[in-house]
Every structure is written in structure tokens, then in C-alpha cells.
Structure 1
Amino acid sequence: MKHLALLRGINVSGHNMIKMDVLKKLLENIEFQNVETYIQSGNVFVETAEENPNSVGFAIKQEIFKQLGFDVPAIVISKSDLEKCLTNNPFFKEKNVDTKKLYVAFISKELNNNALNDLKISQFKPDEAFIDGNRIYMKLETGAAKTKLTQKYIEKKLNVTATSRNWNTVNKLLEMF
């Protein structure tokens, strides 16, 4: 079965630096097949007989820690998860939406309807967000570098692990599936 692991917090601002060829070899050594990475920000496809995404993510996290000493959470998603991103993104209901401002935060667990209230989204205007299961769709009018609706904020407020990708990356990853 093919899985996509989204690693959080590698190769960002000089922290947890992992070369993709090193990551690829590391994962092949724990018997993942057809390991393929996309850009330097921790997007890695693996094939394995293991169907449980949490088990795949745990194996990846454990091996990175064992070999490199980095505590790197991995959120593992399927092709159908990415397809749902395309069909469920509420911002596409708007005319002329600027896809350069769209992001998706992938979350480690299903979120309930109260999660949006817990995030207190209204304080981030003009940035907006919608929750859909284990994804948060974001339109960052202020830009990813300036928004206060950060991954760190989401993780703290919702007690989850989160990793975000811009809309171009989401589309490219789906293409690669």
C-alpha cells in the first residue's frame, strides 16, 4: 500500500536538517519500498504491506529519532485524503480565489465541531480557516510568514500534531500519487 508521510519541522530555519537522499536510504533500511521524496520540506511516499497509517508514521518517526536524533512527527495520509482536499476546500466556492494564499494543515486526529471555536479564528482576520475532519483549510491573506494562525498555535490550542502545506504542494503531491 502506498502512503504519503508529511514530516513536520524538518529543514526549516536550519533546524532538523535532513537531506532527502539520507531520508530515502533510512526508510529503505526499514523495508519501505519505492521511497520517493518531494522537495526538501518532508514529503515522502513509501510503499509497505502495513495498512495502518499510524503504524507507518510511528515507524518513520522512530527510525528518524534512532538514526538522526530528531523528534520529527509524521502525519501519514492516503491518496483519498488528498483528493478530499481538492473537493472539500470551501475557499473554491469564492470567485477568483488566489490559490497562492491557500494552505492545508493536516492534523494528527479527527477534530470535532468545537475545534473551530477553540481556535478563535475571528481574531486572525483577514485570515480565515475551516475545519474538515483531520484537515484545516486556511486562506492566509496576510501571508504564511506574517499570519498568527501558525502551526504552533494550532497544535497548542487543539493539543494535536499539525503540519501545513501550500496549495501548490498539495496539488503536486496528488499528482505524484
Structure 2
Amino acid sequence: MDPKKTPKTFVAFLRGINVGGHHKVPMADLRQEMEKLGFQKVATLLNSGNIIFEAPTHKPEHLEKTIADHLEQVFGFPIPTLVRSAKTLEQLYKENPFQKMEVTKDIRLYVSFLKNDPAVELDLPWASADHSYRILDVRDKTILSVLNLAVSNTPKAMEALEQFFGKEITTRNWKTVERVVKKL
């Protein structure tokens, strides 16, 4: 069997759909459109655009463009798409980068996925002026961060991420990443 034809598992993370009643994309429609692109074993998780699928071996960058272009054509608005291999996500989960974090009801653990390698180098760990938001690590086009709602009720975490890394980024709660990996 040609190894290039053996399907591999990927996860697509879509940015900005089904948020606050805007850019609505029903998950059943999303699965159907992914299947139209020839992907197999398509499954969605939650309503925020997490798609597990199999595809013949392709680079994630190629898959990102293919999916984003198709979804924009179908749904009528841009849907930024970031793709990671199942292997990459399983490795992140195995490393458990937040294992030493004390988690309380006010602590939020986030994983942000970048489209490109970061152009900026931060002195890590980086903290906002009020210490409500910290970036712990940046690796493999992935940012690991912590938000403490006990410090500030109006955190500017996403603004900080976009300021440093641009808008070609999407963020998921660590619990969502764990759920995705467990479904692989």
C-alpha cells in the first residue's frame, strides 16, 4: 500500500463560528461539507468548530487552505482554519503542560494555535501588567497560557495574544483539547 494514500487523522480548529449568535455553522452541515471534500471519519466536538477527520497524507497548511476556502464558499464568510495532526495533539496531551498548575474556579488554562511560526520572542513566562494573564510557553506554533479571573473581571487576554501573534490564531480551553484527544 502506498504510504501517501494511507489516511492520517487530523483536527481542524475553526475560528469565530457560533460565537454570540454570529457566523452560525451547524455541526451537521460542517460534517457534510468536510465529507464533500473527501475527508473520512468526520466528527465534530462541541459547537465551536473542532473537527476530527481522516485525510490522505497532506501537510496541515494545505488542509487549512482547502478547508477554509471551501467553507467560505459554502457559508458566505471567512472561516479561519488551523489544522494539527492527531500525533501533535496527542504529544501535547501526553506532556500535560499544565500539570503543575494549581487550578481553582477562577483559573482558566488555554491552548492557542497559530497559523505560522511566531515572529515575536517573548521573555517567558510573560505576564500582563495586572498578572491576570500569563503566557507560559510558545512551541510548535502553539501558545500555552493561564487566565486568572480572580485578579481581573475584564481580562484582555485575547487582545494580548493578537498584539503579540496576530489574528491568525484560535484558542481553546485545555479541557476542550483534552476532550478532542480522548475522541481521537
TM-score (norm 1): 0.85
Please tell me whether the aligned partners of residues 108 and 160 of structure 1 are also in contact (alpha carbons under 8 angstroms).
no
Equivalent residues in 2 for 1:1-177 (5 A)?
Answer: 1-88=8-95, 90-94=97-101, 96-98=102-104, 101-111=108-118, 114-117=120-123, 121-133=127-139, 134-142=141-149, 146-150=154-158, 152-177=159-184
CA distance in structure 1 between the partners assigned to 2:46 and 2:98 by the alignment: 26
More helix per residue: 1
CA distance in structure 1 between the partners assigned to 2:74 and 2:153 by the alignment: 31
Amino acid at match of 1:73: P
Shift of the alpha carbon at 1:111?
2.7
CA distance in structure 1 between the partners assigned to 2:91 and 2:114 by the alignment: 14
- With over 3 angstroms needed to count, the CA separation of the structure-2 counterparts of 1:87 and 1:62, relative to structure 1, is same
Shift of the alpha carbon at 1:90?
4.6
More strand per residue: 2
CA distance in structure 1 between the partners assigned to 2:121 and 2:78 by the alignment: 26
Gaps of 5+ in 1: none
Computing the radius of gyration over CA atoms, which structure comes out larger, 1 or 2?
2
Please tell me whether the aligned partners of residues 93 and 181 of structure 2 are also in contact (alpha carbons under 8 angstroms).
no
Q: Deviation per CA, 1:42-86, whole angstroms, max 9, x where unpaired?
A: 000121113211111111101111111120111101123223433
CA distance in structure 2 between the partners assigned to 1:25 and 1:91 by the alignment: 35
Query: Which stretch shows the higher mean deviation, 134-143 or 14-23?
Result: 134-143
Amino acid at match of 1:142: L
TM-score (norm 2): 0.82
Length, aligned pairs only: 174
- With over 3 angstroms needed to count, the CA separation of the structure-2 counterparts of 1:124 and 1:42, relative to structure 1, is farther
CA distance in structure 2 between the partners assigned to 1:74 and 1:81 by the alignment: 16
CA distance in structure 1 between the partners assigned to 2:153 and 2:14 by the alignment: 19
- With over 3 angstroms needed to count, the CA separation of the structure-2 counterparts of 1:19 and 1:176, relative to structure 1, is same
Please tell me whether the aligned partners of residues 37 and 43 of structure 1 are also in contact (alpha carbons under 8 angstroms).
yes
Gaps of 5+ in 2: 1-7
Amino acid at match of 2:26: K
Consecutive aligned runs of 4 or more in structure 1 exceeding 4 Å deviation: 87-90
